Structure 1
Amino acid sequence: MLLASDRLDLLLTRFRSLRTLVIGDLMLDEFLWGRVRRLSPEAPVPVVEVQRSSRFPGGAANVARNLLEFTPLVTLCGAVGDDSPGEELIHGLKGTGCDISGILRLPGRATTLKTRVFGRQQQIVRVDRETRDPLPPSARGELLAFLRQTIPACDLILLEDYAKGLLDQEIVDLVLEEATRAGRLTAADPHTLNRLSWKGVSVLKPNRSEALALSGLEDPEESLPSIEKAARLLQERWGCLHLLVTLGEEGMLLLDEMSRSRRIPTAAREVFDVSGAGDTSLCLFSLALAAGSEAWEAAKLANLGAGIVVGKLGTATVSPEELRAHLTAGS
């Protein structure tokens, strides 16, 4: 059963006053759309005749964009290079109302730029230009000082790990310790290339392959019984209150604070692009919990939002109006 419309309105009203902090790897997402009418004579690959392009703040910045649809009180913390993509990313955030005082500009560091090429409504290739180097000591010190000062004033802290060098164990531990001390809700989206301990985090949101890899289980078919077993191992290992596994076209798997397992079938009508769907899921699930929802209700809202986002091309967000419209259409 979907949410009642009056319940959704109440949650959306509560979201507006939630103070949120996003910490993680920042990147610029580039999308190239074109026609494919022939193969290259140089190699058996399609030639894409680019017709249009767009760029959006991505990574942890896309999480901030998702949050800004529901609350104006969003602070973003991360690092970019002193380069053209970094400047464009900062410029793209300035008009959103996001507090970017926690973003470091680091000379000599490359801002992550991900280019996705589409032809015939399908993604053909992705090109990544990035660095995975850890932050220099001076930048780490500045980041830690900012976090100590900012966390106590927030209601919700989200950690977004894309394994680009920002998050390490010391930073994660400090965030979770400060948040626990202040009684704040924390949520994390982990990455398998950056094996960190998430002990003490309130919410963990891996996808199905990440859940298996982080748990140490092997199942080439990524079956649902294996996914649930992996989720239980992770919840036991790190003491997460809630563990939400995104399953792509199969929806989501939730383990709540009582370790009760529930499947949420996908709400997507059509799937064009999964870019950023996990970000939307984590944002809505965490916002709902911070606003007083039970985990099952929060998961249904997250699933509804993700189902809308995958029907869009590009790094997309979902609005309150879209949630209301899809809720009405599905009721």
Structure 2
Amino acid sequence: MTSSHLNFKNKHILVVGDVMLDRYWHGGTSRISPEAPVQVVKVSNVEDRPGGAANVALGLAKLGVKVSLVGVVGNDENATALQAALEKEGVDCHFVTAENLPTITKLRVISRHQQLIRLDFEEREDSLSQNQAVEAKVVELLQGASAVVFSDYAKGCLADVQTLIAKSNDAGVPSFVDPKGNDFSIYQGATLVKPNLVEFEAIVGPCADSKEIERKGRELRERFGWKALLVTRGEDGLILLEDGKNSFSLATAAKEVFDVTGAGDTVVAVLTAVYTTSKRFSDAVDYANQAAGYVVGKLGTASISAETLEAIMFARSHSSNFGVLSPEELKEQINLAQLNGEKIVFTNGCFDILHPGHVAYIKQAKALGDRLIVAVNTDASVKRLKGEKRPVNDLTHRMAVLEGIGAIDWVTWFDEDTPLEIIEALTPDILVKGGDYTVESIVGAEHVMAHGGEVKVLSFVDGYSTTSIIEKANA
């Protein structure tokens, strides 16, 4: 599957499951409580994020998918906060309100990027009327759906998931299940079921190696009539068992694990979205693996955009240690180069339409050191900076053109409005900027100089600009 197929705008995916609110209290810790031997956190920031099935829906929305979400919430302020956060990202919420239950909320206290404690607010109460209300909404929304995701956290919304899967099959809509519990018979007839290794072994017993996982997994898949079974194994990668095909295994794509919160949600979101486009489980699993590797490097529940996923897959298709690399892969190569005594030069920009001024500037930058990195604004970042009609060329095309310039060793990307985050992550020896800047005004200069590096301002060649080229073309 090529990156050009990563277009989900005409897809409509229904998500059904246990929704929850992930609330984060951020603050500093500088003293121990006089009341007990515990740290005192001075809360300075409160952050609300969709969690559980809501995070799956959010992940799909970030990919550009049309998403409808069915879940159960309480009649409380947290339900309002959850719905507002989802609707802000374009998720169409169809909540069933349970008057006697609170909205499931997980409160995490964070200090210095470390989770100190988690407090859960939830109650469980199976209700026939609740199940019927969920079913009614699902049946209505299955009409025109490309796929349905059942995100089960064993909190009660999917107490009658067997009926919902049967309704999906009747409607001809493929179903993807993120399961929970010790009875997988309730997922009979699903298209694909995605347990992690702990959940899988709770059903089939301990597995000594991948061969035993494959043998027991095939038996499980055949017993319950699934077209595919995907077992995720954390740092040991994934195993896909598909009807009529050999097993398909992938090593984990994660380079550095910072927080696994929501990684499973990302896998099932990307897996489902890609399958609706390619109709191949192996493609879907490949993309989902790369997405999971990206989000576990972020703090808290995280999502990935279609553009970032496309860029990661584009970079991965380049087998060399040079050329287009993801920021994580590039960090490894920079460390090796600096160990060899090489000076790393960094510059950044949109590079929408490459012209002679760009080429001259790039050659000047390369002359300052041994290796040159060019970091490119993603399409979303360019739009925020330059307007809705830009960029003219999308990210993968811009990176491919830059890769062909001999003076450039590495091309990577960043999604923020400024390159500060990627500069801090890569810490080059020389930071270069073109134009009428002072060193002090250049983003990232303080970080580079604090680590013993240099900051240089270069002049652009007069007479060339992307804007003027576009204006001439439209004249």
Identify the TM-score tier after normalising by the shorter chain.
Answer: 0.7 to 0.9
Indicate the SS of the match to 2:24. strand
Which is worse superposed, 179-188 or 136-145? 136-145
- The amino acid across from 2:167 in the alignment is E
Partner of residue 77, structure 1: 70
Partner of residue 64, structure 1: 57
Partner of residue 263, structure 2: 277
| Closer/same/farther in 2, CA of residues 161 and 309 from structure 1, 3 Å limit | same
CA distance in 2, matches of 1:118, 1:178: 42
Partner of residue 113, structure 1: 105
- The amino acid across from 1:326 in the alignment is I
Deviation digits for residues 182-230 of structure 1, max 9, x if unmatched? 2211100111267652110001011110011122x035xx754444344
1:1-331 alignment runs, 5 A limit: 7-10=2-5, 12-13=6-7, 15-36=8-29, 46-100=39-93, 102-134=94-126, 136-168=127-159, 171-192=160-181, 197-215=186-204, 217-218=205-206, 223-258=209-244, 260-330=246-316, 331=318
| Closer/same/farther in 2, CA of residues 305 and 174 from structure 1, 3 Å limit | same
Whether the 8 Å contact between 1:20 and 1:73 is mirrored in structure 2 is: yes
TM superposition shift of 1:17: 1.0
- The amino acid across from 2:117 in the alignment is V
Indicate the SS of the match to 2:200. helix
TM superposition shift of 1:162: 0.5
Deviation digits for residues 155-190 of structure 1, max 9, x if unmatched? 10110111111111xx32222222212221110011
Which structure 1 segments of 5+ residues have no match?
none
CA distance in 1, matches of 2:172, 2:227: 14
Deviation digits for residues 91-149 of structure 1, max 9, x if unmatched? 2122222221x211222211111122334433333221111211x33333222222222
Which is worse superposed, 155-164 or 244-253? 244-253
| Closer/same/farther in 2, CA of residues 200 and 92 from structure 1, 3 Å limit | same
Which is worse superposed, 57-66 or 43-52? 43-52
CA distance in 2, matches of 1:226, 1:131: 38
TM superposition shift of 1:274: 0.8
Which is worse superposed, 199-208 or 223-232? 223-232
| Closer/same/farther in 2, CA of residues 131 and 319 from structure 1, 3 Å limit | same
The structure with more radius of gyration: 2
Deviation digits for residues 232-263 of structure 1, max 9, x if unmatched? 33212212111111111222111122252222
- The amino acid across from 2:288 in the alignment is A
CA distance in 2, matches of 1:320, 1:77: 23
CA distance in 1, matches of 2:49, 2:187: 29
Indicate the SS of the match to 2:265. helix
Indicate the SS of the match to 1:58. strand
TM superposition shift of 1:19: 1.4
Give the length in aligned residue pairs: 317
CA distance in 2, matches of 1:239, 1:118: 43
CA distance in 1, matches of 2:10, 2:82: 26
Which is worse superposed, 224-233 or 288-297? 224-233
Whether the 8 Å contact between 2:68 and 2:91 is mirrored in structure 1 is: yes
Whether the 8 Å contact between 2:13 and 2:65 is mirrored in structure 1 is: no
- The amino acid across from 1:184 in the alignment is V
- The amino acid across from 1:105 in the alignment is T
Which is worse superposed, 69-78 or 159-168? 69-78
Which is worse superposed, 181-190 or 46-55? 46-55
TM-score (norm 1): 0.87
| Closer/same/farther in 2, CA of residues 45 and 260 from structure 1, 3 Å limit | farther
TM superposition shift of 1:62: 0.6
Indicate the SS of the match to 2:186. coil
| Closer/same/farther in 2, CA of residues 264 and 44 from structure 1, 3 Å limit | farther
Specify which structure has the bigger relative contact order, considering alpha-carbon pairs within 8 angstroms and separated by 6 or more residues: 1
Indicate the SS of the match to 2:187. coil
| Closer/same/farther in 2, CA of residues 193 and 49 from structure 1, 3 Å limit | farther
Indicate the SS of the match to 1:167. coil
| Closer/same/farther in 2, CA of residues 41 and 63 from structure 1, 3 Å limit | same
Which structure 2 segments of 5+ residues have no match?
319-475
CA distance in 1, matches of 2:236, 2:130: 41
**How many percent of aligned residue pairs carry the same amino acid?**
37
Indicate the SS of the match to 2:284. helix
